[in-house]
Amino acid sequence: MDAAKSLFACALLFGLSAAAAAQAIAVRGQTVYPVTGAPIENGVIVVRDGKIAAIGPAGSVSIPDGVEVLEAAVVTPGLIDARSVVGLAGYLNQPDDQDQIEHSESIQPELRAIDAYNAREPLVAWLRSFGVTTIHTGHAPGEIISGQTMITKTAGDTVAESVIVPLAMVAATLGEGAVVQEPNGRKSPGNRSKAVAMLRGELVDARTYSEKLSAPVDDDDKGPPARDLRMDALAAVLKGDVPLLVTVHRHNDIVTALRLQEEFGFRLIIDGAAEAYLVLGELKAADVPVLLHASMARAFGERENMAFTTPAKLADAGIPFAFQSGFEAYVPKTRVVLFEAAVAVQHGLSFERALAGITIEAAKILGVDDRVGSLEVGKDGDLALYDGDPFEYTSHAIGTVIDGVRVSDLTR
Amino acid sequence: MYENVLAVNQTTPYIARLAFVAILALVTLATRAETIAFTGATMMPVTEAPIENGTLVIRDDRILAVGPSDSVRIPRGAKTVDVSGAVIVPGLVDSHSHIGEVAGGDESAPLAPEARVLDSINVRDAGFKRARAGGITTANLMAGSGLLMSGQTIYVKLREGNTIESLAYRTDDGRIAGGMKMANGTNSRGEPPFPGTRAKSAALVRQQFVAAEEYRDKIQRANGDPKKMPDRNLGLEALVEVLEGDRVVHHHTHRHDDIVTVLRLREEFGYRVVLHHVSEAERVAQEISAAEVPVSLILVDSPGGKLEAMNLNFESPPVLEQAGVDVGFHTDDYITDSRLFLRMGAIAVRTGMSRQKALEGLTMAGARMLGLEERIGSLEEGKDADFIVLSGDPFSVYTRVLETWVEGRNVFDLDDPEDREVSDGAYGVLTPSSVAHEFHGYGEGH
């Protein structure tokens, strides 16, 4: 089935299922991985009104009469892609479907992801068909601050329907990725140091802005500063309300990000981190989580030293990390976190940690673990169904449930 | 030893070349006469059913025997290696790769049949190491698809060698073996002199082949008379080889109508062609089957990235198999990493292709596409001792390539710390690399 047809089929399915959403749905799995608890053999999950109402061994969970029951060899929580540009980046890769990066200025934290997200993008449906139910998507690496990110479910016809966190993080880039490219009509930043100086200057300005906003108004004062969207976004970062997601790959750039975090005290999340294995101690000491580059990302430029074994090393060091599909400028236009985690398993990461890296660990780093990332009573009814070991190349995704609604029945 | 293999100039008289090969063979015999038996593994010869508890015997650079352990006689004096629990399959054949800092024609013209990829290759490029770590023992190295005809490709054996000549396969008459890279669709379009439309693309290609036919006919009419011979033309010379069936066209094509255009031009000029990438192959599987043209597929993890790949899906492998098409696979490295080439066959199984056909696609089918099926692609007596030792099922994510052997020599060993770093990735081990140069920018690959 081609992408357009599958999108239509999914939309149709979603429409039909939505009518039944008020009802419950049950899923029976030969093995159910709650992720936050031990695997359950012959397990049952009941989802009611979009939330998990019950989970346990078949004998202990009763399935209400008349409820649709889905069956699978393996059931996991709906997968989470911890860093993507899908929905802003479209699959056609033509100028008019590439909204993930804007090169007119180096620092634009006021650019909101929700204003560019296309919920009907075929790549969203593609990810959904592999069991991905939540994506952290938004502005791509490629400018010092390229814009904001958001967290969304992969079902829904509009961003308003699908989004769960409209402003998740502010996306920054350091290293060569921040250096201005020739066609962009600017000359600066021309190197690493200049990029960092520009970012520090902007954060200092934002601090001043915040202080002025919160200062008591007296007669001599000119009053609060005029509202500035850019400063508002950075003030939220400095206040700790919104993490700064910093894309860096080289070991020295990772350390630079840690240095800035120490100077300004924002909540730092490292993105990419191809050379993380060289600075494990520093990352651990700084207690900073990592959204690791796709395992199968291409090893060139700043990623030339990337290793398939980095996930296992991060796990051994006790550094929080999750998997991402990342940003692709060409083919494939998106990657699938299920496959990225699988390659990490091939290179020494445990099955359990790999599954956590695309479920609960991702949810924790994204701050949405109260809703998604594990199969627990009260959490969103987001499930991924497989006909075998999810990481095995030759297994298939056979169904996806979001908020208690079956949104994919493709075999893929 | 491979370092001693000197360049054989294409103009060297045949007898001299023969003598050279004979001397080389004597040197080989004098310095190596080793027989090794690998016992206890599951052997997957490809040309026959898998053999549980099999034995593979190699002598020097060739396979001496393969079969069930209880029926294969191990020669006296052979070194025996117990590989129980492992799986041995033929060395993988990558029918389309860009490792080695490849280049062909440039932006000055859309057709460059005279350009040879061999003149650009850096054999120290880390891509060769990655390929060996992925179990690839033979590859077709090609320039990108930014031109309608980007030049002559080269078939290489992934020996450890100092020069591209020492890696090159040779034809029976001693020429360096390779094909002709062509492309249609969107990658090869551009501002003049590049074509702006598909029709213009086809017209330029037809004009070029018409010129090659006339050149060939002039040579035939000259009948050996130097005064009647046309002036030598390097590009047309290569295209005459294409017309004569001595040089296979490796054709980048994605969209169903572009695929059919390739078949139409092939029928007009009668050359041999392999279709590469072929995102929409399932839409024209019957046409491909009727033309008896082989397909080298790439399976990437999502559709799109460019217009001609927007309908890429996971449907083609089983559809082509059912249509009786000869199906192979390629890495298109850098598009997919050579170290993960087995995954391509596994994903084909995921889409519904049979395991046997998928394994054949990684080995024997590729060998046929390069015209090397007599030498490589299967575990058979007399074939090159190119094989890989796997920790398990070739199509399982839990399997690793443990060893890669080329012509009876171990060229990758996961137990060797340096080789392991290549397989896993580590600081500084994968440079220099053509991937690091981004291979002509993003637009011209795949």
Q: What is the DSSP string of A345-370?
A: HHTT--HHHHHHHTTHHHHHHHT-TT
CB-nearest to A93 from B304, B424, B426 is B304
The answer to whether B307 faces chain A, any CB pair under 8 Å, is yes
**Residue B185 within any structural domain of the chain:** yes
What pLDDT, on the 0 to 100 scale, is given for residue A180?
87
A347–chain B nearest CA distance, Å:
7
Phi-psi region of B171 (alpha: psi -120 to 50; beta: other; left: phi over 0): beta
A117 and A28 both lie in a single domain: no
What pLDDT, on the 0 to 100 scale, is given for residue B444?
41
A332 and A243 both lie in a single domain: yes
Residue tagged 């310095």 (tokens): B31
**Residue B157 within any structural domain of the chain:** yes
**Residue B30 within any structural domain of the chain:** no
Chain B hits for A92, CB-CB cut-off 8 Å, are 304, 306-307, 310
Contact criterion met (CB < 8 Å) for A345 and B398: yes
What SS3 class is residue B427? coil
B174: which 2 tokens?
A: 């001693």
CA distance B266 to B209: 10
The answer to whether residues B331 and B299 touch, using CB atoms and an 8 Å cutoff, is no
With bands split at pLDDT 50, 70 and 90, how would you rate the model's confidence at A22? low
A60 and A91 both lie in a single domain: no
**Residue B160 within any structural domain of the chain:** yes
B384–chain A nearest CA distance, Å:
30
A297 and A352 both lie in a single domain: yes
What is the number of domains present in chain A?
Answer: 2
Q: Is the pTM of this model over 0.90?
A: yes
CA-based radius of gyration for chain B = 22
- A208 Cβ contact partners less than 8 Å away, ≥ 6 residues apart: none
Tens digits of per-residue pLDDT, B219-240?
A: 999 999 999 999 999 999 999 9
B183–chain A nearest CA distance, Å:
17
Domain containing residue A277: CATH number: 3.20.20.140
Q: Residue A23, exposed/middle/buried by CB under 10 A (0-12, 13-18, 19+)? A: middle
A9 and A130 both lie in a single domain: no
Contact criterion met (CB < 8 Å) for A330 and B424: no
Tens digits of per-residue pLDDT, A85-137?
A: 999 999 999 999 999 999 999 999 999 999 999 999 999 999 999 999 999 99
| Domain with B239 in it | 91-378+432-444
If contacts are CB pairs under 8 Å, which of residues 270-299 in chain A contact chain B?
275, 278, 296, 298-299
Phi, psi for A84 (deg, rounded to 5): -145, 170
Tens digits of per-residue pLDDT, A151-180?
A: 999 999 999 999 999 999 999 999 999 998
- A371 Cβ contact partners less than 8 Å away, ≥ 6 residues apart: A164, A363, A379, A380
A153 and A250 both lie in a single domain: yes
A83 and A64 both lie in a single domain: no
What pLDDT, on the 0 to 100 scale, is given for residue B265?
98
Which residue ranges of chain B lie beneath pLDDT 50? 1-15, 27, 29-30, 438-445
Cα dist from B220 to A72, B226, B236, B367, whole Å:
68, 12, 14, 32
Task: Report cis status (omega within 30 of 0) of the bond before B432.
Answer: yes
What pLDDT, on the 0 to 100 scale, is given for residue B259?
98
- A144 Cβ contact partners less than 8 Å away, ≥ 6 residues apart: A106, A107, A172, A173, A174, A178, A189, A195, A198, A199, A202
A104 and A58 both lie in a single domain: no
Domain containing residue A18: CATH number: 2.30.40.10
What pLDDT, on the 0 to 100 scale, is given for residue A273?
98
The answer to whether residues A71 and A409 touch, using CB atoms and an 8 Å cutoff, is no
Q: Which residue of B has its CA nearest to A308?
A: B424
Q: Is pLDDT at A21 greater than 50 in this prediction?
A: no
Domain containing residue B139: CATH number: 3.20.20.140
If contacts are CB pairs under 8 Å, which of residues 315-334 in chain A contact chain B?
328-334
Contact criterion met (CB < 8 Å) for A330 and B300: no
**Residue B29 within any structural domain of the chain:** no
Residue tagged 């710390």 (tokens): B417
- Tell me the DSSP string of A23-86: S-EEEEEEEE--SSS--EEEEEEEEETTEEEEEEETTTSPPPTT-EEEEEEEEEEPEEEEEE-B
A68 and A87 both lie in a single domain: no
A122 and A216 both lie in a single domain: yes
The answer to whether residues A284 and A317 touch, using CB atoms and an 8 Å cutoff, is yes
Contact criterion met (CB < 8 Å) for A91 and B302: yes
- The residues with which A271 forms a beta bridge, in sequence order, are A247, A291
A116 and A66 both lie in a single domain: no
What pLDDT, on the 0 to 100 scale, is given for residue B446?
56
CA distance B316 to B321: 8
What pLDDT, on the 0 to 100 scale, is given for residue A219?
62
What is the number of domains present in chain B?
Answer: 1
B21: which 2 tokens?
A: 């090969």
The answer to whether B96 faces chain A, any CB pair under 8 Å, is no
Best of B125, B130, B397, B424 to mutate (most A CBs within 10 Å, chain A): B397
**Residue B427 within any structural domain of the chain:** no
B306–chain A nearest CA distance, Å:
5
| Domain with A344 in it | 79-371
The answer to whether residues A231 and A256 touch, using CB atoms and an 8 Å cutoff, is no
Contact criterion met (CB < 8 Å) for B302 and A334: yes
Q: Is pLDDT at A9 greater than 60 in this prediction?
A: no
Question: Helix H segments across B78-197?
Answer: 126-133, 164-167
Residue predicted with more confidence, B15 or A383: A383
CA distance A26 to A8: 25
A54 and A189 both lie in a single domain: no
**Residue B292 within any structural domain of the chain:** yes
